[in-house]
Amino acid sequence: MPMMRIDAQGFMTGCEYVPSPNCDDRPAGAIELLVIHNISLPPGEFGGDGVQQLFTNTLDVNAHPYYMVIAELKVSAHFFVRRDGEIIQFVSCLKRAWHAGESCWQGRPGCNNFSLGIELEGSDNIPFADAQYAALKNLTMALRATYPIRGIAGHGDIAPQRKTDPGHCFDWAVYLAGLCGA
């Protein structure tokens, strides 16, 4: 896998960019946290366009019954890592993506203000693919080379009353192996 890098506008080179309207200006301050999530749409199904449609507010509510439940959500993430390791970027790293919701990390509320959200195509109960771990490691190294990242947390770590992702099937040891300062 070629070396990834983040350009001055907050975009990863060599990555597909699909702009999400679900973002806004980030308040002043450093980007210090990576938040790891999982998502699949429809739930437990992989490979479709549901996540991309959700993040771009183009979800076809007639395509699956679950879509009616989430139709009004306005959410996004900076990056989405598919099962095969393909990475899609939805929001510049310099913008605030709407991925964490009500959250707190090390006593600091509002994690969207100082974090980057990375969604993995998956669910709490299905193991993640080796290609995802490889892509996530490379993405993490590129982000750490660009921003003063101090921590990495799961969505469930920063919003434990609401969230459980990336879930018990996410292998933190595999992900963090070889990442300096992990």
Give catalytic residue positions.
119
AA identity, residue 139: L
In the chain, DSSP assigns E strands to 16-17, 23-25, 33-39, 79-81, 87-89, 95-97, 104-105, 108-109, 115-121, 151-154
- Distance, in Å, from the CA atom of 74 to the CA atom of 104, rounded to the nearest integer, reads 20
- Distance, in Å, from the CA atom of 90 to the CA atom of 16, rounded to the nearest integer, reads 9
Structural tokens at position 19: 């702009």
Q: Is 75 left (phi over 0), alpha (psi -120 to 50) or beta?
A: beta
Handedness of CA 176, 128, 123, 146 (dihedral sign): positive
Q: Single out the residue of 114, 98, 126, 123 nearest to residue 153, CA to CA.
A: 114
